[in-house]
Structure 1
Amino acid sequence: MSGYEQFAYLYDELMSDAPYDQWVKFVKDVLGKFSSHEGTSHLLDLACGTGELSIRFAQEGFKVTGIDLSEDMLAVAQAKAVDAGVHIPFYQQDMAALDGLDQFDVIGIFCDSLNYLKTEKDVISTFSHVFQFLKEGGIFLFDVHSLYKINDIFIGQTFAQNEEDVSYIWNSFPGEYPNSVEHDLSFFVLDEKTQKYDRFDELHFQRTFSIEHYSKWLTEAGFTVMEIGADFKHEPPQIKSERIFFVAKK
């Protein structure tokens, strides 16, 4: 799985327009529809990144634990949680090899983070570990890029942003696996002391699978698939849907 290094400290600025409120609403809607749990829900935010969603869930009354593979992301998340006045324990672990955790009412992998797993084996292992640490009747949610988004929107495209403090050039090209993409990122960050721009480069990998594959692996892990939607809607995905949402129950 690709790690975030310097990118971790720019992530929030670059993702300032991400629809975080829609993720929170989606989770609350799903729990209202499918969860039989009463009281404060214990939520595990897997691949929590800089903690943006973890903090929002905590502010909504969830008891939250955050896990990420990136030490840099977790450092940012911890500082933000302190600033926000919420208590969230953060741990560095690989989502495909979770260990030593409590049982949770809800486990989520948001913001297409599951797409950073390279192989079927890693995805299957993640589902198995999530099942292990989810309470009976608990809800597992995740969203992934669709095949359409990987192959028709990302691959072969260049994205760019030119701001005063931070600029980037983002080239996407086919990865080594089917339905995978490699994002070649070059960032230019203003050093306020020298008033010169520092450049750094990172390579990020993402891979997705068909809806049928994800559904099969969830079922094999022991889950019941409750809903498959797209683009924050509780409606079946269409050919050009970009983000696929899965809701499964233990």
Structure 2
Amino acid sequence: MAYQQLAVIYDLLMEDTPYQEWLAFTKKHLKPSARRVLDLGCGTGKMSVLLSKAGYQMTGVDLSEDMLVEASQRALTEKQSIQWIQQDMTALEGFNNYDAVVSYLDVVNYLPDLSSVTQVFSNVYHALNDSGVFLFDVHSMGHVEKMVNEIYSVVDERYSYIWFCEPGQYPGAMRHDLTFFIQDGELYQRFDEVHQQRTFTVSAYMDALRQVGFKAVHLYQDFEPNERTLENIDNEDARFFFVAKK
């Protein structure tokens, strides 16, 4: 299963990720009165903990039990009270009256088709209160085209990996074959993981959001402060951010 063994070293791999920019983006687009926030696909809980420290009442949801173990330990270390729940985001149950739902670092790109995307958007819609907001990001189609058929590698004292990125079966899809070597005393332990991702056009995401009931959908690109439109997006190699309001 994806992330089963990766959970232990995930934070090492992501240590250069600009989490503070995601935090600033979130705070900018939430109302001052917002308190209850659901982190969908929370992983090891880095974003959940940052938002908790910023004063939000956090719930973290992830499919991976291993990721949630790491998240729980992080919250204990950082002295943050966060509720952690293991659920599949395509089948969310028991969530309601949240001021906001966030889903960052291309979590939505793990959904295999538009039917699943629409189902998750519907689940989020019903988890929000009447003035709730949904914030998420996805890769652009151009980013996927740039990544496929490439080989990436990293050699570090603590770990090394080889990453093959292959095109998937459909446009916007890619398959990641990863082989890791993790330091274990004087030896290195090997493990392999496979991840499947897929992205869709900006208009497809907007249509799905409106289909489930979101009234206002705003588009941003790569942490830029100004809103984009379908006419002025740069699809070459970008991360798109959506702010959807009920």
Query: Shared topology, TM-score over 0.5?
Result: yes
Using the TM superposition, give the Cα deviation of residue 180 of structure 1 relative to its aligned residue in structure 2, in angstroms: 0.3
1:177 match: secondary structure:
coil
Structure 1 gap segments, 5+ residues each = none
Q: Where in structure 1 do 4 or more consecutive aligned residues deviate above 3 Å?
A: none
> Which shifted more, 50-59 or 238-247?
238-247
Counterpart in 2 of 1:160? 153
CA contact (8 A) 1:230 1:241 kept: no
Normalised by the length of structure 2, the TM-score is 0.95
In structure 2, how many angstroms separate the alpha carbons of the residues matched to 1:19 and 1:80? 18
Q: 1:182 aligns with which of 153, 169, 175?
A: 175
The share of aligned pairs that are identical, in percent, is: 41
Deviations along 1:152-182, whole A, 9 cap, x unmatched? 2x10111111001101011100112221000
2:138 match: secondary structure:
strand
CA contact (8 A) 1:8 1:72 kept: yes
Normalised by the length of structure 1, the TM-score is 0.94
CA contact (8 A) 1:229 1:244 kept: yes
Q: Are 2:204 and 1:213 aligned? A: yes
Q: Are 2:190 and 1:199 aligned? A: yes
CA contact (8 A) 1:124 1:217 kept: yes
In structure 2, how many angstroms separate the alpha carbons of the residues matched to 1:156 and 1:172? 6
Counterpart in 2 of 1:48? 42
Counterpart in 2 of 1:9? 8
Using the TM superposition, give the Cα deviation of residue 96 of structure 1 relative to its aligned residue in structure 2, in angstroms: 1.1
Q: Are 2:91 and 1:97 aligned? A: yes
Q: Are 2:224 and 1:225 aligned? A: no
Q: Are 2:100 and 1:106 aligned? A: yes
In structure 2, how many angstroms separate the alpha carbons of the residues matched to 1:110 and 1:183? 19
> Which shifted more, 221-230 or 14-23?
221-230
2:48 match: secondary structure:
helix
Counterpart in 2 of 1:73? 67
Give the aligned residue type for 2:157: E
Deviations along 1:24-52, whole A, 9 cap, x unmatched? 00011112xxx3x62x5100000000000
Using the TM superposition, give the Cα deviation of residue 133 of structure 1 relative to its aligned residue in structure 2, in angstroms: 0.8
2:44 match: secondary structure:
coil
Give the aligned residue type for 1:25: A
Q: Are 2:244 and 1:248 aligned? A: yes
- Give the aligned length: 241
Q: Are 2:234 and 1:238 aligned? A: yes
CA contact (8 A) 1:218 1:225 kept: no
1:121 match: secondary structure:
helix
Q: What RMSD over aligned residues (CA atoms) do the two structures have, in Å?
A: 1.2
Give the aligned residue type for 1:223: F
1:171 match: secondary structure:
strand
Give the aligned residue type for 2:169: E
